[in-house]
Amino acid sequence: MILILFYMVCIDIGQPINPNTGQIQIDFNLIYNSCTPCVRLNFILGPYNSPDDPQWQQIYNQIVNTLLSAYIKIYALIGHEAVKNNEALFTCALSQENPQNQNIVDQWINEYVYNFVSIVDKFKNRIRVFESFNEPNNWWSNVCGPTAIVHPKWFAYLI
């Protein structure tokens, strides 16, 4: 995916860490050779429970510092992979205005907001643009029917 940020073309580098092991899986040389001025960096938890985990912080600090040291700007994505428990997504509760299990929606929103704020707080001096949920369309339709992954009512709570 190609994104435009501040009139620059950015490269979406996908999952920067392996979701099972937490190992960095970015081909930095490929990014450098592309001559891109910026990348979209997806902040996922992977095997870690929280962005407050010291190992998670060490890995993402290394990624961010490596990119910035090569003068590559970062556009940050903080989506559903920044939350460990995605039961609210997989049961489609977040895509409903009035879900049957309000508790899992509340828990998910609280964890997402906490993690979003934590990630922004850790990187706000090095990254200028942070994207919250980026899918208002029905890309989740194969699971929850023709609906957005997060109902507009809950999206309003997120922001």
| pLDDT tens sequence across 10-41 | 899 989 999 999 999 999 999 999 999 999 99
Alpha-carbon distance of 58 to 60, in angstroms, equals 6
The one-letter code for the residue type at 43 is F
Confidence at residue 98, expressed as pLDDT on a 0 to 100 scale: 82
The SS3 of residue 142 is helix
Confidence at residue 97, expressed as pLDDT on a 0 to 100 scale: 80
Q: Is the pLDDT of residue 3 over 60?
A: no
Per the structure, how many domains does the chain have?
1
Q: Which range of residues forms the domain containing residue 78?
A: 2-158
Token reading at 127: 């990254």
- Determine what percent of the chain is predicted with pLDDT higher than 70: 86
Confidence at residue 86, expressed as pLDDT on a 0 to 100 scale: 76
Of 26, 37, 43, which is closest to residue 3 (Cα–Cα)?
37
Confidence at residue 34, expressed as pLDDT on a 0 to 100 scale: 92
DSSP state of 132: -
Dihedral angle at the C-alpha atoms of 119, 15, 59, 65, nearest 10 degrees?
-80
